[in-house]
DNA sequence: AACAACCTCAACCGCATCAGA
DNA sequence: GTCTGATGCGGTTGAGGTTGT
């Protein structure tokens, strides 16, 4: 935002030991700061953010530098204009994974977790509320759905209709993606893998019960 | 034109986890 | 096994822009 809004004030800074908080720059980054940060990262690589902040001569904490790099300065970052296909994928992944923005972002090349989180909060959550209100209305209208139908709906809620997509080749989806790749969590941390497998386990049990 | 209400999104915060000593 | 610093993540905030009255 406006660079005039840049202010210096005492901030709570995780990078500083207690009792030795310094005046840190905060607020919007300037082009000059971006340039300095990018220069230092090019030399030292994107790690040891505290040192990077110091070497770049920025009155910024390491965390702030990391965030700036991850969200804006990193190569191959896409900015704005989330396509319908991407939106569709975000919706599906969110149904599958919940608010695991970094996981979702990991499956949208060039997109950051922060961007997806913001997009969700400002656009998609509202959309979903609208759709839910509409579907509530239509449910009251006629409750003729069969047990099977309800089960499919439940699956859709939890799995983002991924199962449907797998079986019918994404007929209702505008986004074409490689299912093997989509379900490949092999690069995720053990915790994530555990979480995903638990999710699938519960989902399988629900299927069996139905 | 002036103001209020709402929206967007960059940035911050706190906490959890990881990795190395 | 424990401690400590670094890193990563999700929730939240707030400045600035946009829209409505």
Which domain CATH number covers A26? Answer: 1.10.10.60
* Residue A48, CB, strand C, below 7 Å: yes
Res A40: pLDDT? 92
Q: How far is the CA of A22 from the C1' of B10 (A)?
A: 22
Å separating the CA of residue A187 from the C1' of nucleotide C5: 25
Query: Do A153 and A124 share a structural domain?
Result: yes
Residue, of A173 and A82, whose pLDDT is higher: A82
Residue–nucleotide distance: A54 CA to B5 C1' (Å): 42
* Closest C-alpha among A148, A143, A146 to residue A207: A148
pLDDT for residue A49 is more than 80: yes
A137 lies in which domain range?
Answer: 84-175
CB A43 within 8 A of CB A51: no
Whose C1' is closest to the CA of A6: which nucleotide? C15
Structure-model confidence comparison of residues A195 and A99, the more confident one: A99
Please choose, from the candidates A39, A123, A127, the residue with its C-alpha nearest in 3D space to the C-alpha of residue A80.
Answer: A123
When divided into structural domains, chain A yields a total of 2
Q: Of residues 3 to 42 in chain A, which lie within 7 A of strand B by their beta carbon?
A: 11-14, 25-29
- Asked whether residue A145 falls in the same domain as residue A94, the answer is yes
pTM of the predicted structure, to 2 decimals: 0.67
Cβ pair A135, A141 in contact under 8 A: no
Of the candidates A203, A1, A188, A198, the one whose C-alpha atom is nearest the C-alpha of residue A105 is: A188
Please determine, for residue A68, whether its predicted confidence score (pLDDT) is greater than 60: yes
Strand B–CB A95 distance below 7 A: no
In the listed set A31, A54, A73, which residue is the last one of a domain according to the structure?
A: A73
Q: Which nucleotide is nearest to A67 (CA to C1')?
A: B11
Rounded, the Å distance between the CA of A134 and C1' of C4 is 53
* Domain identity same for A15 and A46: yes
pLDDT given for residue A198 in this prediction: 60
Does the pLDDT at position A153 exceed 60?
Answer: no
C-beta of residue A63 within 8 angstroms of C-beta of residue A49: yes
Within a 10 A sphere around the Cβ of A32, how many other Cβ atoms? 10
**pLDDT tens digit string along A162-191?**
333 333 333 334 445 455 555 565 555 555
Measure, in angstroms, how far nucleotide C8 C1' is from residue A102 CA.
9
- Our measurement of the distance from residue A71's CA atom to the centroid of its chain's CA atoms, rounded to an integer in Å, reads 12
Strand C atom within 7 Å of A100 CB: yes
CA dist A149 and A64 (Å) reads 49
Per-residue confidence band for A59, with pLDDT thresholds at 50, 70 and 90: confident
Q: Is the pLDDT of residue A26 over 70?
A: yes
Sign of CA dihedral A125, A131, A134, A136: negative
Whole-number Å distance, CA A181 to C1' B3?
52
The residue ranking higher by pLDDT, A129 or A22, is: A129
Does residue A41 lie in a domain region? Answer: yes
Nearest residue to C16 via alpha carbon and C1': A1
């Amino acid at each position: 935002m406006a660079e005039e809004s840049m202010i210096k004030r005492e901030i709570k800074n995780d990078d500083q030991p207690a009792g030795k908080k310094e005046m840190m720059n905060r607020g919007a980054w300037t082009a000059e700061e971006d340039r300095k940060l990018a220069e230092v990262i090019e030399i030292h690589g994107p790690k040891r953010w505290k040192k990077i902040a110091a070497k770049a001569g920025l009155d910024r904490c390491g965390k702030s530098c990391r965030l700036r790099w991850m969200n804006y300065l990193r190569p191959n970052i896409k900015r704005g204009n989330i396509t319908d296909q991407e939106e569709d994928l975000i919706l599906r992944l969110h149904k599958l994974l919940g608010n695991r923005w970094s996981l979702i972002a990991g499956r949208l090349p060039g997109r950051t977790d922060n961007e997806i989180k913001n997009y969700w909060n400002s656009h998609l959550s509202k959309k979903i509320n609208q759709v839910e209100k509409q579907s509530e209305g239509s449910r009251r209208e006629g409750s003729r759905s069969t047990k099977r139908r309800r089960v499919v709906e439940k699956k859709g809620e939890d799995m983002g209709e991924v199962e449907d997509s797998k079986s019918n080749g994404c007929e209702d989806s505008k986004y074409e993606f490689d299912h093997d790749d989509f379900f490949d969590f092999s690069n995720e941390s053990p915790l994530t893998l555990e979480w995903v497998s638990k999710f699938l386990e519960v989902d399988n049990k629900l299927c069996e019960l139905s």
